[in-house]
Structure 1
């Protein structure tokens, strides 16, 4: 049985896209590999947790710089786990540049296979992007295999293009059990429909940060008439400015952070799913796939190099328009609102696409295959 060490910035129950994928990878290999995980703790102390019967070594974090966690104990803990556990394979979730420097030193002169799980390029932090150029080259040169979440991201990333022969695609996944609609969710969805009777319900989901593009959705809403309702969930550093921008537009409703029941009910009750992300920071779009599973047609922007336009195919599962083109975005929403048959067509095709490509069972099979074949 192969030994696999997973390195993720944080890990479940910490909530985040990378953390969820890291757990999905661990669960996919649970029956075939002996595993450990090393990650940061969201507190200052080192600790050991067990999640899904897997040991999670958590290193205390004393500070963050440009969203990068820093730890005094990490290098010692990484060395210890590699010495004592002696893994056959390390799966490293990128970006995590602080840890990458330690990992490269630990792997030197060791016969340990390295899989780099490339979630996204460093884009926003321009200083870090330049600072870690050399480190990225060394990391990808050392890698035996590089996992990307979509072919689009491989084509759009200069880093992945540089090691294209090492790259494989394993799309992210949704958990069908988590997506089940309880009686409570269905009842709440029906109530939302009644509260918005006669309105076209549009829903957008995500943290209020620049790359999510909510400002363009708010601008598009101002081009719609009062037969629409635009719900925007979540919070973030841009919440106040977004709310100010939406002042005077009663169509836009900010829900704040809502629980899982309310979120699923809102998506299930909706007519159109709005996904206005604008940059490659949106590497895949898991929320988009979840909405498609509920048979919701989507409106997206064209994002070169992002997996968003791989998840939702233009004129098949939704409508894709020119990036940041507010008028085109509003027109796409209107087109779907005025054509129930088209909404149903795109919705049904969207669910089929998810079922054929983005389910956890398919993900587990893909991950297991790639790890099994790493020595070949």
Structure 2
């Protein structure tokens, strides 16, 4: 049986987009290969070292530099795994530039490297320039490069140079977590009743700059109380955004929600507002989840992002020019009034998720690429 070492920045029970994909990859290969996971320790008190029957080796983090974890024991633990576990494959989830240096230094020539490229480093421009040549070396060393959408391959200054190595494996949603429970259905009916006669607009995501919530709020402010906007999530911009919305009671910040509560809002909503504005949003899991519930989506155009690959303009929703508040408002009004178009988008959105973004398709794609 082949042996696979997964390397992620953090791992479950830490909750994050890349970490979820790393766990999905482990699930997809379970039973077909022998696996271990190497990661930084996100919590000094973390004791979970067996996750889904797979050993997780966590390395203590001494500090962070440019939001990147630094661990003095990572190199020694990696070398030990190379000597004892002897992986046939390493699946390395990038960005994780500080570990990339260790990987390039010690990976054996015979070990195949699957480079899971989630996104370029471009928010921290100084850091990106500093690691430019290392990135090129990493891409040259990789046997295969996984991208989550064809859009990202074309839009990345790195992946576009190594197209022949790239394989598209879209992220997947968790069908089991999204199953409609009686509690979620009951709560959804309550939400609908409380907002009878209104168009329910839903947005889900962290309240951080690249999510573009300030533009959603500006669009909402040009509408009236025939609409209600529910924003689920938390983050650094919460206070600022709440202040921006203070005079508009139909814009409601709900914070974090339980799974049943989240599903209830997905069920009750009429429109999904996804307002990310930069390539920091490489894919959009929340967008795919909303489409799974048959919600028509309104997105901004983000060159090189997978967002506009997940939801297709004119098929599953409406795409408007980036940061165009007026166009976004008009798209909301259009979907609220054109019920026939909305119905088509709902059906197409659900069908697209079933076809492209479920776990079984993800599993098939990953196993096929690795020939296991």
TM-score range, shorter chain: over 0.9
Q: Does 1:88 align with 2:112?
A: no
Q: Secondary structure at the match of 1:81?
A: helix
In structure 2, C-alpha distance between the alignment counterparts of 1:11 and 1:51, rounded to whole Å: 9
SS in 2 for 1:11: coil
Alpha-carbon distance in structure 2 between the residues aligned to 1:289 and 1:84 = 40
Distance in structure 2 (CA, Å) of the matches to 1:235 and 1:66: 22
Give the length in aligned residue pairs. Answer: 372
* SS of structure 1 residue aligned to 2:295: coil
> Counterpart of 1:206?
205
Q: Does 1:363 align with 2:362?
A: yes
Does structure 1 retain, via aligned residues, the 8 Å contact 2:200–2:271?
A: yes
Q: Deviations over 1:11-67 (max 9, x none)?
A: 111101111100111111111111110011113479671111110001111222222
The normalised TM-score by structure 1 is 0.97
- 1:259 corresponds to: 258
Is the partner of 2:235 in helix, strand or coil? Answer: coil
> What is the CA RMSD across the aligned residues, in angstroms?
1.2
Change in 2 beyond 3 A, CA 1:253/1:47: closer
Q: Do the aligned residues in 1 keep the contact of 2:36 with 2:55 (CA within 8 Å)?
A: yes
Structure 2 distance, partners of 1:59, 1:111, is 25
1:300 corresponds to: 299
Equivalent residues in 2 for 1:177-256, closer than 5 Å: 177-256=176-255
Which whole-Å CA distance do the structure 1 matches of 2:262 and 2:35 have between them? 33
- Greater Cα offset, 48-57 or 185-194: 48-57
Residue 34 of structure 1 corresponds to which residue in structure 2?
34
Whether 1:99 aligns to 2:99 is yes
Q: What's the offset of the Cα at 1:175?
A: 2.0
Q: Which residue of the partner structure matches residue 64 of structure 1?
A: 64
Structure 2 residue ranges without an equivalent (≥5): none
Q: CA deviation at 1:256?
A: 1.1
In the alignment, the residues of structure 1 paired with residue 319 and residue 150 of structure 2 have an alpha-carbon distance, to the nearest angstrom, of 18
> Partners of 1:292 and 1:308 in 2: how far apart?
12
List aligned pairs for 1:40-79, cutoff 5 A. 40-44=40-44, 49-79=49-79
- Which shows bigger deviation, 71-80 or 206-215? 71-80
Equivalent-residue separation in structure 1 for 2:356 and 2:59 (angstroms): 35
Distance in 2, Cα, partners of 1:335 & 1:21: 35
Tell whether the 8 Å contact from 1:44 to 1:62 is kept in structure 2 after alignment: no
Cα distance in 1 between the residues matched to 2:20 and 2:137: 27
Measure the CA separation in 1 of the matches of 2:246 and 2:63. Answer: 37
Structure 1 distance, partners of 2:103, 2:48, is 20
Q: CA deviation at 1:334?
A: 0.3
Shift of 1:7: 0.2
1:295-334 equivalent positions in 2, closer than 5 A? 295-334=294-333
For 1:252 and 1:310, locate their aligned partners in 2 and report how far apart those are by CA, in whole Å.
Answer: 28
Question: Are residues 1:275 and 2:277 paired?
Answer: no
1:244 to partner: Cα distance:
1.2
Under a length normalisation based on structure 2, what TM-score does the superposition of the two structures give?
A: 0.98
Q: Which runs of 5+ in 1 are unaligned?
A: none
CA contact (8 A) 2:177 2:259 kept: no
Match of 1:286 in 2: 285
**Contact map agreement 1:283 1:308 (CA 8 A) in 2:** yes
3-state SS of the aligned residue for 1:158?
coil
Within a 5 Å distance, the mapping from 1:96-135 to structure 2 comes to: 96-107=96-107, 109-135=108-134
The alpha-carbon distance between structure 1 residues 47 and 235, as it changes in their structure 2 partners (threshold 3 A), is: closer
In structure 1, how many angstroms separate the alpha carbons of the residues matched to 2:352 and 2:235? 31
Report runs of 4+ in structure 1 exceeding 4 Å deviation. Answer: 45-48
Distance 1:307 1:209 in 2: 19
Note closer, same or farther for the CA distance 1:53–1:201 as it changes in structure 2 (3 Å cut).
Answer: same
* Cα pair 1:336 1:343 within 8 Å, conserved: yes
Alignment of 1:14 with 2:51, yes or no, is no
CA-CA distance at 1:195 after TM superposition: 0.9
Contact 1:48–1:57, Cα closer than 8 Å, also in 2: no
Question: How big is each residue's C-alpha offset from its partner over 1:93-135, in whole Å with a ceiling of 9 and x where there is no partner?
Answer: 000011111011111x531100100001112111111111011
State how far apart, in whole Å, the 1-side matches of 2:78 and 2:47 are: 13
Alpha-carbon contact 1:47-1:57 (below 8 Å) kept: no
The Cα offsets for residues 300-320 of structure 1, whole Å up to 9 and x where unpaired, read as 000000000000000100000
